[in-house]
Each structure stands twice: as C-alpha cells, then as structure tokens.
Structure 1
Amino acid sequence: MDGLKETVVIWGAELRRAVRSGRAMVLLGLYSMFSALVLLVVGWLASEVRAAVNARLAEAGAGGEEASARIAEEMRKGVLGFLTSNDTAMIEALAQVPVEVLLVFKITLFFLPAYVALMGFDQLSGEVGPRSIRYLTVRARRSSVLLGKFLSQASMLLGLVLIIDLAVFIYARIANPDFGFAAMSLNLLKFWLAAIVFSLSYVALTTLCSALFRAPAVSLVFNFIMLFVFWLMDTVGRAVGEESVLHFLRYLSPSYYAGNLLHPGLAQFGASGAAYAAFATLFIMCAYVTLRARDL
C-alpha cells in the first residue's frame, strides 16, 4: 500500500473512532457552552449600552429614534475600528455583520488554540506510551500514521467549528432582522474559513507536542507552555517600540497573523494564510523527525 492510501485509511479509521467516542460530544458541548456564554455576555452588554444611551437621550429630550440610531451607528463604527485596527477595507467588508458576531469570533479565536490542545493532546502520545502504535507502524509508514492522525483531528475540528459558527450566525440572524440570509451565508463561510486557517497550525503544534512525549499529560502541559510562549512573544513584540529588537518577536508567533484573516483583500488574506501554512508545515515536519527517531 503506498503512502497516500495508507494515510487515507488511517485518516478514515481515526476519524470514525473519534466521532463515535464520547470525547467528540464533550468537546462539542464545551465549545458550544463557551461560545454561548460569550454570546450572552456580549449581547447583554450591548443591550445595556443601548438602554443607557436611550435613557440619556430621553432625559436630554433630543432627537428620539433618529438620534439613537445615529449614536448606535457611531458606536458600531468605533467597535469595528477597534477590532480591525481601523482598517477601512475591513470595516467596509464587515459593515453588515452584527457586532456580537465579531466580538464572539475574536474572543473564541483567542481561546481556540487551548481547545485544540485539549482535543488532540494524546493523538500520538496516547499510543506511543503503551506502545500500541507499533501495530500501526509495522503495517504503514510512520509518516502515514502521523498525517492520518493529524488529518483526523483537523477534520473533526472543521466540523465542530462549523456547527458552532452556524449556531452563532443563526442567533445573529434572529436578533438582527437587517442581517439578511445572503449576507449571513457569505460571512458564515468567510468566518469559518478564517477559523480553520487559523487553527490548522495549532493542530500541527498539538501533533508535534504529542509526538515529543510518551505521557499524554506531559504533552498537554508542554502544549499549553508553547501556547503561552507564543502569546507572550506576540504581546511583547506589539508592546515594544519598532526600534527595539524585541519588536521582531511577534513575527515568530502564529497569533500575530490572525488580524488579516477576515480581510477582503486577497493579498492580505493570502499572506496570513501562507504564514499559517508555513507554521503548520514546520510543526508537522518537526513531528515527523521526532516520530522517525523515536523507538516505538
């Protein structure tokens, strides 16, 4: 059996096993509860702000609904400007998307790497530790085993993210009558694609961490350490001035490139996508070198 067929067979078997396991439902429940909590909090804050603005306008006796609508639009533009770093093209492209969706997307994107780590920290270490992986490696190449397990986790994540994004957009459609079906469908595809491009590099990182250690618990802890290191590099790189050499640290963190994943410009989106593809390739290659050198 050649490498491609081996990869497809392992991919399919691992995906079926993952879907049938209780973990898939637990992960879906965890992700959905977190997204629902964020959505409810953001929606509550938005309604409180609108109520406070309307109360102030009523006290001042100004403009009624027209003034309220104008202030709400100005606040919306301010929030969009903050979320998009005042990028005019992105503000125009996201003009039809409810602010609640953007805030939920930004917040969940921050926690998505941790979710990915919880999802697949034992994809290799869970079998390397008890040495059950040797039953696979005597029948298939180690590269096929590695890619099959990586694709299995990526496929399950793809489905889970689509389910949650669909639920968020349906809520936004119900809560915002002006958010039409065509705009909802187009932006759902855009947001889902952005989340997948963003998360694939972290799936590859999880694969690497799982290949490095025999104990799943150690793989999980090391994965979280790596996520913190990448977050710290991005934060420090953004905080220091451009004259500092530490400014270049942000380019070594995957999270730095998330800003343009919703950009309407093909060049900007393509640059971010290429960066995440490069990180994913690097992590997978390191995982393969580790697995190839390991005594299974």
Structure 2
Amino acid sequence: MCTLDGPKEIVVIWAAELRRAVRSGRALVLLGLYSMFSALVLLVVGFVTRELQGQVNNKLQEVGADAEVTARAADELHRGVLGFLTSNDAAMMEALAQVPIVVLVVFKISLFFLPAYIALMGFDQVSGEVGPRSIRYLTVRARRSSVLLGKFLSQATLLLALVLVIDLAIFVYARILNPDFGFAVLVVNLLKFWTATIVFSLAYVALTTLCSSLFRSPAVSLVFNFILLFVFWLMDSVARAPTETNSLRFLRYLSPSNYSGNLLHPRLAEFAGSGAAYAAFAAIFLVGAYGVLRARDL
C-alpha cells in the first residue's frame, strides 16, 4: 500500500537513485567518457581552426596585405563559418558573433553524439531491476508512475550536472584561446548553450526510459535504443535529401533532431517552438514507458 502521495514518492525515488548512481562511481565514469570525447573534439576542431586561419594569414602576407586587410579576412572567414553553422540565420549570426567558432562546432558535434551517450548512461535504469525482479520491492511501496518518473528525473539530473561541467570546461578553454571573449559574454552564452543542450537531451532521456521499460534484459534495451536512434537519424537524413521530388520530407518532423536548429535562437518564439517539440517527444516516450510498465508483470 502506498503511504506517500505521488510527488513525495517521486522525490524519494529520485534522491535514492541519484545517490546510488553517485556512490557506484557511475557518475565519474560517465564524466570521464564525456570529457574524453569532448576534449578530443575540442582539440581537433581547435587545431583545424588554427591551421586554417594560419594558412589564410600566410597567403595574405605573401601578397603584402596589411594588418587591416588581414583582420578583415579573418572576420569574413569567421562569419562564413558562422553562417554555415547557423544556416545563415541573420538573428542567430548576430547573437553568436562573439562566441568562438570552436565552441559552436563542438556544440553541433556533441548534439549528434549525445543521444548515444544518453543511451549508454541509462539503458538499465528500469530493465536493470525488471530482469532480476528487484523492482517489485519498489512497486509495493510506491506507484509505478512514481518509480518511472523518479528514475527518469534521476538520470536527467545526473546528465544536467555532467553537461554543465563539460560546457564550463569548453568555455574556459575557449576563453584561454580567445582573450577577447569577455567574461560577461562567456557566462551568458554558457547558460544559453547549457539550456539548449538540456532541452535537447530530455527527449532522449525519455526515449532511453522507454527502451529500458520494454525489455527485461539491459543489453537488449541498449541495442534497441541504438536501433531507434539510427531510425530517427535515417528519417532526418532521407527527409533532407537535396532533391526537388523528395516525397519523404515530412519524415523530418518525426525525428527529434529536426528541431535542434533553433535551440540557440535569440528570439523566444523560435526557441519555444523547438522546446515545445522536445517536450512533446519526451511526454510521448514517457507515456509509452508508463503504459509498458503498468501492463508488465513485475
């Protein structure tokens, strides 16, 4: 029999799951994995950016260009790359003009790989207890919906903290390489990028919860999660194929990654549209997970 109301049950389960994840060392392993990937991308992108800028400067020096021309060329190169990363959206280009290119590139690449990282992070959050049937000790004391939401919020909280640590490290690194990247601009954009990443991630955390609820075996949950991620990526890629007679363009609306373009948009309406899409995906996945868990014999 349940002795607590729904919100209290969720808070208790959330806190217990979070403590267990931290004490088990999983948080450190996940932080290390995310850090290594982000550091590798950051170093590669930083090296390529410096080499490209160095080649441009050398070419300009060979033809005798002065400092003003060199600075103008560097600015044009920056705006060209920025336009490519923002799909030439004038408002976004203006809002992100002071952010080092290396930060934007790492952000874009991270969004591509983050769903797989989330799957690795929480593939066993439900199936890890459904398989050995240890979850029944929770469900006799709390509602199944509370168990599900508590586990979901635990993973989301852990991810929120890990992303903040990594984003902070990336921005500090960019500040060291770019002294003109002011502290105030750094703080504002750090919060903006962190918020965008979290909004993007919540739908995939919910997807992982759904996949973990579908199977008793954590390994099967993980494989199925990767299959769904590939299906979403394939739908988005096919829908964006540059052909005039592409009759499958509607498929992109069924893929969460389709809505990531406006997560850094300075206009509230554009950002809210993307946020609402990710909230809808998260709600659908969580409702599906609850339906499975409610019908399952634990």
What is the TM-score with the length of structure 1 in the denominator?
0.98
Q: Deviations over 1:43-93 (max 9, x none)?
A: 111111122112112221122x22221111111101111000000000000
In the alignment, the residues of structure 1 paired with residue 23 and residue 186 of structure 2 have an alpha-carbon distance, to the nearest angstrom, of 31
3-state DSSP class of the match of 1:263?
Answer: coil
**Which amino acid is 1:26 matched to?**
V
* Alpha-carbon shift at residue 212 of structure 1 (Å): 0.2
Q: Who is 1:15 aligned against? A: 18
- Provide the rounded CA distance (Å) in 2 between the counterparts of 1:59 and 1:245: 50
Determine if the alignment matches structure 1 residue 92 to structure 2 residue 104. no
The corresponding residue for 1:217 is 219
Does 2:237 correspond to 1:235?
A: yes
Distance 1:289 1:107 in 2: 34
**Displacement of 1:240 after TM fit?**
5.1
**1:57 alignment counterpart:** 60
* In 2: Cα distance, 1:103 partner to 1:248 partner: 27
Aligned to 1:41: 44
Taking the aligned partners of 1:23 and 1:14, their CA distance within structure 2 comes to 12
Q: 2:29 aligns with which of 26, 31, 36?
A: 26
Partner of 1:74: 76
Counterpart of 2:24 in structure 1: which amino acid? S
Q: Which amino acid aligns with 1:35?
A: S
2 CA distance for matches of 1:242 and 1:179? 42
- Supply the distance in 1 between the matched residues of 2:221 and 2:167 (Cα, whole angstroms): 29
Question: Cα offset for 1:19?
Answer: 1.3
Between 1:195-204 and 1:240-249, the stretch displaced more is 240-249
Work out the CA distance in 1 between the residues paired with 2:104 and 2:126: 35
1:245 Cα offset (Å): 3.1
2:132 partner SS: coil
Please show how residues 182-221 of structure 1 align to structure 2 within 5 Å: 182-221=184-223
SS at match of 2:232: helix
> Quick one: distance in 2 between partners of 1:14 and 1:224?
24
Counterpart residue number, 2:286: 284
Tell me the distance in 1 between the aligned counterparts of 2:7 and 2:57: 62
Q: Give deviations 1:172-202, integer Å, cap 9, x for gaps.
A: 1111111100000000000000000000000
What's the TM-score once normalised by structure 2's chain length?
Answer: 0.97
Which blocks of at least 5 consecutive residues in structure 1 are unaligned?
none
- The DSSP-based 3-state class of the residue aligned with 1:51 is helix
99 and 15 in structure 1: CA distance in 2 versus 1, 3 angstrom threshold: same
Find the aligned partners of 1:262 and 1:242 in 2 and give their Cα distance. 29
Q: Which amino acid is 2:237 matched to?
A: T
Deviation at 1:244, TM superposition (A): 3.6
Give the aligned partner of residue 296 of structure 2.
294
Does structure 2 retain, via aligned residues, the 8 Å contact 1:57–1:68? yes
Which stretches of structure 1, 4 residues or more, deviate above 6 A after TM superposition? none
**8 A contact 1:241–1:247 mirrored in 2:** no
1:15/1:152 contact within 8 Å kept = yes
2:33 is aligned with what amino acid?
L
The AA in structure 2 aligned to 1:10 is: I
1:214-258 Cα deviation digits (max 9, x unpaired) = 000000000000000000111111115465431100000000000
Q: Secondary structure at the match of 2:180?
A: coil
Aligned 1:118-197 pairs, distance under 5 A: 118-197=120-199
Please give the alpha-carbon distance, in whole angstroms, between the structure 2 residues aligned to 1:249 and 1:286: 21
Measured in 2, the distance between the counterparts of 1:237 and 1:169 equals 34
* 2:53 partner letter: R
Cα distance between partner residues in 1 of 2:29 and 2:153: 20
Give secondary structure in 1 for the equivalent of 2:134: coil
Distance 1:79 1:162 in 2: 25
Stretches of structure 2 that go unaligned for 5 or more consecutive residues are none
Worse overlay, 52-61 or 211-220 = 52-61
Measured against aligned partners, the alpha-carbon deviations of 1:117-158 in whole angstroms (never above 9, x if no partner) come to 000000000000000000000000000000000000000000
1:269 corresponds to which residue?
271
Question: What residue is the counterpart of 2:7 in the other structure?
Answer: 4
Query: Which residue is 1:254 aligned to?
Result: 256
